[in-house]
């Protein structure tokens, strides 16, 4: 069952900025042929828009795993989880970042969640993933852990 899910879509301004591909294509291909110029401009614009859409990663927390893009982390190896926003998130992505960490960043998403990996066979100390709502992802990842801890104490 999915506990949390979001797709890291690019902001509308980035989709609008892709329109700059049109005049660039026209400058190159119009001297060859007006038809080719317009066709290439439209094709390249559509291609860029499809790439933006297709490359938007999905962040998902289910009962059994944490997914970030194509990567999967079983919830059984999830340790401490912390969400960061603003300057703290910038610090996590920069000076405090461990070079061994697995990362999935999108520059247009300001929050991050840091997920400790408790697997002796995995050299990755933690995942650092861009998310729009770090608190919601942290709650989603820790809610199952709290339930399993309570079950183990009973």
pLDDT tens digits along 132-145? 999 999 999 998 65
The whole-chain average pLDDT of the chain stands at 91
Name the pairing type of β-strands 65-68 and 71-74.
Answer: antiparallel
**Predicted pLDDT of residue 144:** 61
Q: Confidence class of residue 153 from pLDDT cuts 50, 70 and 90? A: very low
Mean pLDDT of 58-79: 96
How far apart are the C-alpha atoms of 24 and 99, rounded to whole Å? 38
Of 112, 138, 134, 131, which is closest to residue 8 (Cα–Cα)? 131
Q: Confidence class of residue 65 from pLDDT cuts 50, 70 and 90? A: very high
Which tokens is 15 given?
Answer: 């989709």
**Spatial contact of 52 and 10, defined as CB atoms under 8 Å apart:** yes
- The pTM of the full predicted model, rounded to 2 decimals, is 0.80
User: What's the CA dihedral at 32, 33, 37, 40 to 10 degrees?
Assistant: -90
Q: What are phi and psi of 21, to 5 degrees?
A: -65, -30
How far apart are the C-alpha atoms of 43 and 91, rounded to whole Å? 40
The H or E element spanning position 2 is: strand 2-7
Q: Confidence class of residue 114 from pLDDT cuts 50, 70 and 90? A: very high
Mean pLDDT of 53-82: 96
The owner of tokens 């998403």 is 109
CA-CA distances (angstroms) from residue 6 to 13, 15, 33, 38, 130?
19, 19, 43, 36, 11
Mean pLDDT of 23-49: 91
The owner of tokens 């933006």 is 52
**Predicted pLDDT of residue 21:** 87
């Amino acid at each position: 069952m999915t506990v949390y899910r979001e797709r890291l879509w690019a902001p509308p301004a980035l989709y609008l900025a892709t329109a700059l591909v049109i005049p660039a294509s026209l400058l190159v291909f119009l001297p060859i042929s007006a038809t080719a110029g317009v066709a290439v401009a439209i094709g390249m614009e559509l291609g860029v828009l499809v790439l933006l859409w297709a490359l938007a990663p999905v962040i998902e927390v289910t009962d059994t795993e944490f997914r970030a893009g194509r990567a999967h982390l079983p919830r059984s190896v999830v340790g401490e989880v912390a969400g960061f926003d603003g300057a703290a998130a910038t610090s996590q992505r920069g000076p405090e970042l461990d070079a061994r960490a697995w990362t999935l960043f999108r520059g247009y998403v300001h929050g991050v969640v840091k997920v400790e990996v408790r697997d002796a066979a995995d050299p990755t100390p933690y995942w650092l993933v861009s998310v729009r709502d770090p608190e919601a992802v942290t709650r989603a990842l820790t809610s199952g852990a709290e339930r399993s801890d309570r079950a183990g104490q009973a």
